[in-house]
Amino acid sequence: MLTELSPLTRKLSAFVALSDADVATLTRFDLRRRSFTPGHQMIHEGQSGSSAFVLAKGWAFSYKLLPDGERQIVGFHLPGDFLGLRSVLFRTSDHSIEAITRIEASEVLTSDILKSFAQAPRLATAVLWAASRDEAMVVEHLVNLGCRSAEERVAHCLLELGARLAHLELGDRTGYDCPLTQYHLADALGLSAVHVNRVLRHLREERLVTFQKGRVCFENFRRLTELAQFDEAYLDQDGPLLR
Amino acid sequence: MLTELSPLTRKLSAFVALSDADVATLTRFDLRRRSFTPGHQMIHEGQSGSSAFVLAKGWAFSYKLLPDGERQIVGFHLPGDFLGLRSVLFRTSDHSIEAITRIEASEVLTSDILKSFAQAPRLATAVLWAASRDEAMVVEHLVNLGCRSAEERVAHCLLELGARLAHLELGDRTGYDCPLTQYHLADALGLSAVHVNRVLRHLREERLVTFQKGRVCFENFRRLTELAQFDEAYLDQDGPLLR
DNA sequence: CGATTGATTGATCCCTATCAACCGACGTGG
DNA sequence: CCACGTCGGTTGATAGGGATCAATCAATCG
């Protein structure tokens, strides 16, 4: 059965045991299927009245631009992720989201979300949980920038993506396909692209990871995890709180 | 009337128009009043079964510790803030919270929260909104570390605290009382305490801000805002989405 | 085929960490 | 009441990590 559920349903089920009615409501989130080409701006900072999306296939990233042109990538988004929830709750979006690969996603209207909360309180809890999990990822990202060296940051980022993809069965401990450029990594990690390149070379020379031609290969998962002080606790919370 | 409402109620009212029943439910969050002394650990990372708090008076901060002893301060908390919501939703806390000043707070049990969601769906939406606002602050913090220089970071941090305190009428454009040490700033901004000191001296010499003896004084609010590229949009969202 | 995008490497510079020392304020205990 | 330890703030000297500037190269593409 699980294979027939949408990625979002699967994700939320990990938190609360959803009733059939809840699942039905969620299923309604999955109509209005759309697809986007690489580079498409799905959500614009400052835009009001934008809707949210549930990512079904492909990679995206959310970011903020500063007046001086600097770009900070806040996070990368993978299938199952809820995109632009904040843009809907606040009426005007405080960040932008861009497609990296070709993307398939379901558009979710503000009214869908608010109505479903009124009808299905368990679902509201589940969405709050999912939002909290996203916040936990941003927090870990913050720790990454605040406490770690360039090398540790790159390692941590590659490991986090690996762990998230593994949950989706899109990768394993040997590696995964990764459509990011070194510029993406640089803007996510607060480094220059030139330095990201050097760091990747060093990690390769140390036989820890390689990231070439769209593929990340873990050469020494153990040592890499130690180097990055990577602890995936923040990614998979232990089972349903609400039964 | 507003003055009789708890800080949390006031905050959530800014988003959804709460019914009397909702307000009553929230009022129940405000029993179990407790107080803590400076330095008290209100929430421990890794601890399970901890409860959440609504901060009524005083300052606190949440942080994460890395295995190597580095500390990243994730955010500072002011009256009205919901502390440890994530610790409750995930069963085990992924961060710690420590009191900076003497604190008064109301303890909120997990069961209170979950029950209230079932009874008052609007309230669930309001809490989700509040959580999203917190996430927006973490995101801005991330941008701070990723894109700004030491000087800009310090300026931005002092401005953000000023704006938040102004909303609470605990400060204005001239300045505010600030119980932070330079070590707090350092750990929040990914800098060394020594460097924070130098930056503060420089900002003082440039007649932009002073931070001495527990008081922040804005000397040139305009120029400081420009320097920090500070835009308070992420702090106050425009009025109720749900009426 | 020229143009663009992403990866790569080298040289140089500067911002910030680190180490070290010192000061004043405060609290505590002999 | 003074000695002492601690904590927060301050300043100086030095070192290093990462930015910046510049050039080259491979792959892709209209």
Last residue of a domain, one of A65, A98, A131: A131
| Gap between the Cα atoms of A102 and A104, Å rounded | 7
Per CB-CB distance under 8 Å, the chain A contacts of B188 are: 146
Last residue of a domain, one of A131, A164, A196: A131
> Which pLDDT belongs to residue A237?
66
> Which pLDDT belongs to residue A235?
87
Examine the domain organization and report whether B117 and B168 are in the same domain: no
Q: What is the DSSP letter of B235?
A: T
How many domains in chain B? 2
Examine the domain organization and report whether A127 and A162 are in the same domain: no
Mean pLDDT score of chain A, rounded to an integer?
92
Contact A124 B128 (CB under 8 A): yes
Q: How confident is the model at residue A94 (pLDDT cuts 50, 70, 90)?
A: very high
Structural domain contains residue A224? yes
Question: Ramachandran region of residue A32, left (φ > 0), alpha (ψ -120 to 50) or beta?
Answer: left
| CA–C1' A179–D7 (A) | 50
Mean pLDDT of the region B234-241: 72
Mean pLDDT of the region B183-212: 97
Which of A48, A51, A119, A139 to substitute to test the interface with B, most B CBs within 10 Å?
A: A139
Tokens representing residue B207 in the block: 């007649």
Examine the domain organization and report whether A48 and A108 are in the same domain: yes
Examine the domain organization and report whether B153 and B82 are in the same domain: no
Mean pLDDT score of chain B, rounded to an integer?
92
Residue B52: φ, ψ to 5°: -100, 170
Protein chain A, residues 188-227, with a C-beta closer than 7 Å to any atom of nucleic acid strand C = 193-194, 197-198, 200-201, 212
CATH number of the domain bearing residue A124 = 2.60.120.10
Of the listed ranges A160-174, B103-117, B213-227, the least confidently predicted one is: B103-117
Pair type for strands B103-108 and B33-36: antiparallel
Size of interface A-B (CB pairs under 8 A): 149
Of the listed ranges A136-145, A194-203, B108-117, B213-222, the least confidently predicted one is: B108-117
Q: How confident is the model at residue B8 (pLDDT cuts 50, 70, 90)?
A: confident
> Which pLDDT belongs to residue A73?
98
Residue in this structure with the two tokens 């986007």, named with its chain if needed: A36
Amino acid symbol at A46: G
**Nearest nt by C1' to A195 Cα:** D18
| CA–C1' A196–D18 (A) | 10
Per-residue pLDDT tens digits for B159-196: 999 999 999 999 999 999 999 999 999 999 999 999 99
Examine the domain organization and report whether A127 and A226 are in the same domain: no
Last residue of a domain, one of B119, B140, B161: B140
Please calculate the CA angle B152-B157-B158 and round it to the nearest 5 degrees. 100
Per-residue pLDDT tens digits for B121-136: 888 889 999 999 999 9
Structural domain contains residue A24? yes
Q: What percent of chain B has pLDDT over 90?
A: 68
Examine the domain organization and report whether B81 and B164 are in the same domain: no
Nearest to A23 by CA among A112, A120, A131, A88: A120
Instruction: Say if residue A140's pLDDT is above 90.
Output: yes
Mean pLDDT of the region A13-25: 86
Examine the domain organization and report whether B152 and B76 are in the same domain: no
Q: How confident is the model at residue A238 (pLDDT cuts 50, 70, 90)?
A: low
> Domain range holding B207?
148-234
CA distance A183 to chain B (A): 14
Mean pLDDT of the region A4-22: 82
Examine the domain organization and report whether B83 and B159 are in the same domain: no
Examine the domain organization and report whether B165 and B53 are in the same domain: no
| CA–C1' A192–D20 (A) | 9
Instruction: Say if residue A242's pLDDT is above 80.
Output: no
Structural domain contains residue B239? no
